[in-house]
Amino acid sequence: MGNALRFLYGHCCKPSAAGDSDSLGPHGVSAATVGVSALAQDLFSFEITSKVPEGLSNHVASSRKAQANWYRKLLVAWRESNPPPKTPEEASRLVVQTLKRHHKADVEGLLAFYGLPLPHTLVETTAEVPVALPQGVVFEFHTLPVDARAVADGDTVTVYVSTSDPRESCLVPQEVQIAALERSEARAHRDYARADALHKSIVDAGYRVIPVHNEEVLARKYRIRLRGIDAPEGGMPYGNEAKEELAKIVQGKCLRVLVYGEDRYGRSVGDLYCNSLFVQKLMLKKGMAWHYTAYDQRAELAKWEKSARAKRIGLWASPNPEEPWEWRKNKRERR
């Protein structure tokens, strides 16, 4: 069952050029993007099954019993790390430190199995100033390709994040991991009724198994409320146009999401980037949304709304369009 979790991996960053094959690790994907997640998934699989991955013995000389001992130590170290490793270098350092009393050849073989840097290639560097995230960002993630049907309106979309993401891999409830494994096995035995029942339990827990590039990926569901804009509601003029515009921007794309927190409806409030383009900027400049000044004072949002107003495009073709927040207020009062 050690390989049963391979279907959990996302493939938004799968290499496509022929020359990329040189960088492929034993898992068939770029070690630079997936090696860390492969190790994380195998550790959590070991916690459930007590089995080490198939194929590891081709890279190390020690027995399966010794290998299991490594994974027990690594599982403890991984869970105690805060935050958990996110880069290949961080993962390599955790493995080297945790298994420092074990044979050098075995440690290097384990690292090679995951395509992680070997000890002699690790270089201690001084901390560099990272590209600054906007003030208030709590965390960020990258989504799987977005389904256009997941766009609720011009400022709300449902996205899914692969549990192979280093941050997400630590948060998957054990019952979801077990259900995903059992569902995979049920489908392999063509027991589709049981597989469907298990998938329902996964969905009820806020996850879903999604087909990506002919493989199945276990993913976590997030409802995203675009920060700083307010699009017309469905029953308002330009409500449908705003929804269609957002769907056109994000359909089939992997998005970068910067999350600031949650709103009162449990949605993650965030900035969306699609192919490095700021989605809120596109919606404002096309006249498909208002700058929501009650919750976001960023000057650039006001500038982009002003530009669309001046050109009288989108909803600004009307001389005095009704604001969504006023429309919602009046609707509540009528009730």
Q: Residues 191-239: pLDDT tens digits?
A: 999 999 999 999 999 999 999 888 899 999 999 999 999 999 988 999 9
Separation of alpha carbons 11 and 15, rounded Å: 9
Residue 1 has pLDDT above 80, yes or no: no
Q: How confident is the model at residue 123, as a pLDDT?
A: 56
Q: Residue 180, SS3?
A: helix
pLDDT digit string (tens) for 282-293?
Answer: 999 999 999 999
Average pLDDT over residues 105-112: 92
Separation of alpha carbons 136 and 237, rounded Å: 33
Separation of alpha carbons 115 and 113, rounded Å: 6
pLDDT digit string (tens) for 253-269?
Answer: 999 999 999 999 999 99
Q: How confident is the model at residue 132, as a pLDDT?
A: 66
Q: Where are the alpha helices (DSSP H) in 122-273?
A: 166-169, 174-188, 192-204, 239-250
C-alpha 195: how far from its chain's center?
Answer: 24
Report, as residue numbers or ranges, the catalytic residues. 225, 233, 267
Residue 3 has pLDDT above 70, yes or no: no
Q: Which residues pair with 226 in a beta bridge?
A: 270
Q: How confident is the model at residue 124, as a pLDDT?
A: 54
pLDDT digit string (tens) for 4-58?
Answer: 333 333 333 333 333 333 333 333 333 344 688 889 889 988 989 999 998 899 9
Q: How confident is the model at residue 65, as a pLDDT?
A: 93
pLDDT digit string (tens) for 184-193?
Answer: 999 999 999 9
Report the mean per-residue pLDDT for the chain: 85
Q: How confident is the model at residue 312, as a pLDDT?
A: 93
Q: 8-22, 142-156, 259-273, 304-318 — which is least confidently predicted? A: 8-22
Taking the model in full, what pTM does it have? 0.65
Q: How confident is the model at residue 34, as a pLDDT?
A: 67
Average pLDDT over residues 150-154: 95
